[in-house]
Amino acid sequence: MERYESAKEQYGKIGVDVEKAMEILKTVPISIHCWQGDDVTGFENAGEALTGGIQATGNYPGKARSPEELMADLDLALSLIPGRKKINLHASYAIFEGAKADRDALKPEHFKGWVEYAKSRGVGLDFNPTYFSHPKAADGLTLSHPDPEIRAFWVRHGIASRRIAAYFAAELGEECVCNSWIPDGYKDIPADRLGPRLRLKDSLDQIFAEKLPGVIDCVESKVFGIGVEAYTVGSSEFYLSYAASHPGVYNLLDNGHYHPTEVVSDKIPALLAFFDKLPLHVTRPMRWDSDHVVLLEDELKEIAREIVRCDGLDKVKIGLDYFDASINRIAAWVVGTRNMQKALLSALLEPAGQFRALQDEGDFTRLMAEREALKLYPFGDVWEEYCGREKVPGEGAWFAQVMQYEKDILSKRG
Ligand code: RNT
Ligand code: ZN
């Protein structure tokens, strides 16, 4: 408390209202990806390999093997994360009571269990069609497949998924982000780069034809994946152009999906100049799209600063997307989600208006000096206070609970 009062005074002297920052922070939802809990396996066919050029590496014990286990693990994570939360589901996490439905026949009823979960925990839901880890995606092609029957199957999956997202929105009274990422691409130099993109465009037009209230439709681009190194159908230019020419479809930015010196922090204000919504997948690429747990690093802080500076807290839909199977998966959720929130808090504790004025006045010397001074301000004391007010443990205090759960529950899973 004393430390917080002192921090409040220090920030107050540079015109930053820490109380207001905490009030804002607790209203910003973070969409927590369910797939960190089971290495992107899903519940359809235990043992089906993860395909599509993405990989979860590691074999840390205790991964969730059923909806019950995943929900129990999420419960612990949710209890250790402050603020508003949503759970981000993939279609492969359908809960079947009795007969299974294939991807193109998925229905809202297969996600009833998740709606009940979300309602009882007071969290929101987001959704993703799953265009990978399926026999009809075995050759790595889905919505751009040259075979019209395979394409039609995946178009039906896209349509079914959007209806599930609309069901979530209606049930929970909150917009549902429905994000389409497809693995389609070629390992070696293609003989035709346009054909697959025209087929993808046509498939997307069919999928998005139906107007569905409450659904935020998104498309996610990528540079390359494992096994599809030469060419990705859904490239950045393709989807950005698609979103720009299709009102109501948004371009999702995953910060693991660009060339190494490109940064998503710079893309945020570029897109916010044109789009009223901007979905994100926040991850941590290590040499490639490795999806390591999000740490409190410079680019994460810069992403958060751009969201705050652009007055984008309502427009930017923050989702997480990483999957590390080499560490305790609940700790992975807790660390990554809290880091996203810490980055937002640190952005909210900037005298942004003053900095902007210094830039406009051309006083770059003072701007540099003041920003460097701010780096040593006691931001951690405000974070601790925030955790206390949100009734979650502070840094260093949550870890013991995760270890106890590992001992009692995770270590007993086969
Ligand atoms: C893959 C994309 C995609 C997936 C998840 C599981 O490169 O980032 O978002 O990670 O949908
Ligand atoms: Zn992603």
Annotated active-site residue 314? The verdict is no
Given a cut of 70, the residues of the chain with pLDDT beneath it are: 46-47
Q: Which ligand is nearest to the CA of 234?
A: 1
Give the pLDDT score at 47.
62
Annotated active-site residue 254? The verdict is yes
181 touches ligand 1 (CB under 6 Å): yes
Q: Which two tokens stand for residue 308?
A: 């705050």
Contact 161, 91 (CB under 8 A): yes
CB atoms within 10 A of CB 198: 12
Q: Which ligand is nearest to the CA of 183?
A: 1
* CA-to-CA separations, 8 to 100, 342, 393, in angstroms, rounded: 55, 16, 20
In 3D space, the residue among 266, 277, 284 whose CA is nearest the CA of residue 321 turns out to be: 284
324 touches ligand 1 (CB under 6 Å): no
State the CATH class of domain 28-348.
alpha beta
Give the pLDDT score at 98.
87
Give the pLDDT score at 289.
94
- Tell me which H or E stretch contains 177: strand 176-180
Name the closest-CA residue to atom 7, ligand 1: 54
Q: Ligand 1: which of 31, 134, 281 to mutate, most ligand atoms within 8 Å of CB?
A: 281
Q: Which ligand is nearest to the CA of 41?
A: 1
Give 213-225 pLDDT, tens digit per residue: 999 999 999 999 9
Rounded to the nearest whole angstrom, what is the distance from the C-alpha of residue 34 to the centroid of ligand 2? Answer: 13
Given 257, 277, 301, 342, which residue is catalytic?
A: 257
Question: Side chain identity at 377, as an amino acid letter?
Answer: Y
The number of the ligand 1 atom at minimal distance from the alpha carbon of 35 is 6
- 397 Cβ contact list (under 8 Å, min separation 6): none
Annotated active-site residue 276? The verdict is no
Q: Where are the domains of the chain?
A: 28-348
Helices then strands, each counted (H, E), the chain: 14, 12
* CA-to-CA separations, 180 to 63, 105, 314, 353, in angstroms, rounded: 25, 17, 21, 36
Give 361-379 pLDDT, tens digit per residue: 999 999 999 999 999 999 9
Annotated active-site residue 288? The verdict is no
The number of the ligand 1 atom at minimal distance from the alpha carbon of 128 is 11
Give the pLDDT score at 414.
76
Rounded to the nearest whole angstrom, what is the distance from the C-alpha of residue 321 to the centroid of ligand 1? Answer: 7
**Rounded to an integer, what distance in angstroms lies between the CA atom of residue 242 and that of residue 252?**
12
Annotated active-site residue 281? The verdict is yes
**Rounded to an integer, what distance in angstroms lies between the CA atom of residue 304 and that of residue 325?**
26
Cα radius of gyration rounded to whole Å, the chain: 22
Rounded to the nearest whole angstrom, what is the distance from the C-alpha of residue 362 to the centroid of ligand 2? Answer: 38
Q: What is the model's pTM?
A: 0.98
**Rounded to an integer, what distance in angstroms lies between the CA atom of residue 212 and that of residue 125?**
16
Give 326-369 pLDDT, tens digit per residue: 999 999 999 999 999 999 999 999 999 999 999 999 999 999 99
Give the pLDDT score at 1.
73
Name the closest-CA residue to atom 3, ligand 1: 181
Name the closest-CA residue to atom 2, ligand 1: 181
Rounded to the nearest whole angstrom, what is the distance from the C-alpha of residue 28 to the centroid of ligand 2? Answer: 20
In 3D space, the residue among 262, 265, 266, 260 whose CA is nearest the CA of residue 287 turns out to be: 260
